[in-house]
Amino acid sequence: MATTVLGAHETRPARFWESTNGQKAIMAVTGAILFLFVIFHMIGNLQVFEGPEQINFYGFALRRFPEVLWGVRIILLIAVALHIWSSVNLVSRKLKARPVAYTKRQNTASDYASRTMYWSGPIILAFIIYHILHLTAGVLHPQSTFIEGDVYHNLVSGFQVWYVSAWYIFSMILLGFHIRHGAWSMFQSLGMNHPRHTPILKNLAAVVAVIIVVGYISIPISILLGIIK
């Protein structure tokens, strides 16, 4: 009898993580990790407005401690993998719960951000892969030479290509929608969807998303306009 009870206790955490609530918890935690990275990455990139010396020093500081840098990269990689895994599982369960589509669908309880959540994710993932190849590895750096360690040069020369900037801006707008709905979903998962707090939290998520989008797209726009040369 004791063995049976012990076995039940041992499988309880596994059952929770495999449940819908467990999958949502994984999405919330990994989403929070990725959100923090997006914030700090934006702050770092905005140093390009302070000139070559500042942004290049920032890049040098990141590379000075490779063990820390790679530790962060591994954490982010795991977070991305778990975020995608839980997302796919939730979508699969949703489809299994309703295998037959609505005859006439009414999106009364959802907005544009929530309806595009699942297809904006793969597009953002594709952008991340390209962005790494473009400005981190320098493998895809059209119409210019990638210079290792010269962050300022690589940013400016990279975003002077209009279609690269257009792809970046489009992806950041999608990221804004993703963050807006993701942040609100995280609040709901934490049980903070009280009628008194709901409008405030929704507005807060929207404001944060707008700030992030504006912060990121200000760089390619400034480069295209010649503000950053």
Give the model's confidence band at 205: pLDDT under 50 very low, under 70 low, under 90 confident, else very high: confident
Minimal CA–CA distance to 215: which of 175, 178, 166, 162? 175
Q: What spatial distance separates the first Cα and last Cα of the chain, rounded to whole Å?
A: 74
**What pLDDT does 51 receive?**
96
- The CA distance from 210 to 225, in Å, is 21
pTM attached to this predicted model: 0.83
Is it the case that residue 9 has pLDDT exceeding 60?
A: no
Phi and psi for 225 in degrees, rounded to 5?
Answer: -80, -5
Q: Which residue has the tokens 């962050």?
A: 151
Between CA 37 and CA 167, with CA 118 as vertex, the angle to 5 degrees is 60
Residue 127, CA distances (Å) to 38, 174, 186, 228 in order = 14, 10, 23, 23
Cβ neighbours of residue 146 closer than 8 Å, sequence gap 6 or more: 138, 154
pLDDT tens for residues 165-185? 999 999 999 999 888 887 777
| Helices 52-64, 151-159: inter-axial angle, 10-degree rounding | 120
Minimal CA–CA distance to 22: which of 81, 76, 86, 118? 86
Minimal CA–CA distance to 182: which of 85, 78, 87? 87
**What pLDDT does 101 receive?**
52
Q: What is the overall mean pLDDT for the chain?
A: 84
**What pLDDT does 11 receive?**
62
- The CA distance from 8 to 87, in Å, is 27
Residue 216, CA distances (Å) to 37, 46, 110, 176, 220 in order = 13, 8, 26, 10, 8
Give the model's confidence band at 109: pLDDT under 50 very low, under 70 low, under 90 confident, else very high: very low
DSSP state of 101: P
